[in-house]
Chains A and B, each alone.
Chain A
Amino acid sequence: MEIKVLGPGCAKCTKTEKLVQEVVRENNVDASVEKVTDMMQIASYGVFGTPSVIVDGEVKCSGKVPKKDEIKSWITQ
């Protein structure tokens, strides 16, 4: 599974990445977590709020820090 956290590096984006990492570890999901900070790349996903979370190319949330159980539901299906 490929998870991408989009965000230029503000506090909310860093927090989102940390949460995603935590959930991945807690649930033993086989996934790579990548932080995308480049504006052109972020824009190419068509989102316009950061932080955004992309799981296997699908936009799961944008413009807010997701809750842990939300993240869990995206990656444990």
Chain B
Amino acid sequence: MSSHTAQPDPVGKKAHMMMGLTLILGAAATVLWWLIYQSLPGLSRWLTYHLLPLKNGSHLGASVEFFLYDTPKVMMLLVLVVFGVGIIRSFFTPEKTRAFLSGKSELAGNVMAALLGIVTPFCSCSAVPLFIGFVTAGVPLGVTFSFLIAAPMVNEIALGLLYGLLGWKVAAIYLGTGLFIAIFSGWVIGRLKLEHQIEDWVTANPAAAVSLEEEQMTWNDRLVYGWEAVKEIIGRVWIYVILGIAVGAGIHGFVPEGVMASIMGKGSWWSVPLSVTIGIPMYSNAAGVIPVVEALLGKGAALGSVLAFMMSVIALSLPEMVILRKVLKPRLIAVFIGVVACGILFVGYLFNMIL
């Protein structure tokens, strides 16, 4: 960690003032954020039933109020969470993570890899170069998988949305079980000794790892980094959030109470496997699927089934498998899908049972 305050230098005083200014602005922004957030329920009701000619208790009214309340709420929470995680991420790079994980023993390595998967900045489209980089640098295969499973599944967007729509308990359950699946699946894959199932060209002539000199970041840089993350991520997902909430609002207003209980309820043993089977080939990000999930829960779907559905949509997807096929032989892909799906099934049944 380095900051301007750590070493006094000629520009130290100016940096101090900048820092002070940033803190004051930050505090003001936080207060403003909180005030707006607090007034959202009232505002959405007023907009729906006073500004728009909708009747309280009507289907359309319920849908519109839900939409007008949830959209700004979720967006505001996302900005906050993405910004916070962005700042944490500025301390990590894939290079550092790799150096840290290479040569780690299996179980501890799986745990560390899953945790680092959450905070290491990495774009899903670089899964293949990252996989190659890890494996050729001596990170065990299973540990690499723990990272690759945790990174898309447990992310700031999912956590922010779950917290905003379903409360901190569900967000914490998701975080815990997501990590568990990543650790468990990676460990199993490691135990199965499937190294020969990596495509031969990957390990045939490993390229020398490039070491870029690391940039020294000040706290100001980190704040800018966090803000860039907000612009980039919100810019990418806002449309999915709005579409997801619109679908959720439709379900909320028009689908009768309890209708989901028969399909995704806890009474039927097949609801968890069915949710996973539907979820795996589906490709959506957390932003699109979670608002729908919230609405399903409200209509009597069981938490375990819904959690299983959500996880299989986010963690396993057809396009990702197509990309990974370039470095993995079909059998390893099948094992990967199978092991993760089993982990998700277990989590689904567990929560349908205990809740």
Contact = CB atoms under 8 A, between A and B. Distances in A.
Q: Is B one of A's binding partners?
A: yes
Given A8-B128, A10-B125, A47-B129, A62 B212 contact: yes
A48 B93 contact: no
B128 A49 contact: no
B13 interface: no
Contacts of A46: 133, 207-210
Given A8-B323, A40-B201, A50 B126 contact: yes
A48 B125 contact: no
Given A39-B326, A48-B94, A49-B123, A59 B129 contact: no
A11 interface: yes
Nearest to A11: B236
Contacts, number: 69
Contacts of A5: none
B353 to A, nearest CB: 40
Contacts of B128: 8, 39, 42-43
A4 to B, nearest CB: 13
Interface residues of A, number: 23
Given A39-B327, A62-B212, A9 B207 contact: no
Contacts of A63: 93-94, 121-123, 126
A69 to B, nearest CB: 14
Interface residues of B, number: 27
Contacts of B125: 7-10, 12-13, 50
A46 B209 CA distance: 5
Contact residues of B: prevailing secondary structure: helix
B123 A48 contact: no
Interface string B123-148: 11110111011100000000000000
Contacts of B201: 40
A1 B201 CA distance: 30
B236 A61 contact: no
Interface in A14-54: 39-40, 42-50
B130 A48 contact: yes
Nearest to A40: B201
A48 B97 CA distance: 12
Interface string B302-324: 00000000000000000000010
Most chain B CB within 10 A, of A11, A42, A44, A49, is at A49
A62 B207 CA distance: 15
Contacts of B327: 39
Top 9 A-B residue pairs of the complex, sorted by shortest distance between their CB atoms: A48-B133, A10-B125, A46-B207, A50-B126, A48-B129, A46-B210, A59-B210, A43-B132, A48-B130
11 contacts: A8-B125, A9-B125, A39-B129, A40-B201, A43-B132, A44-B207, A45-B207, A45-B210, A47-B129, A61-B212, A63-B121
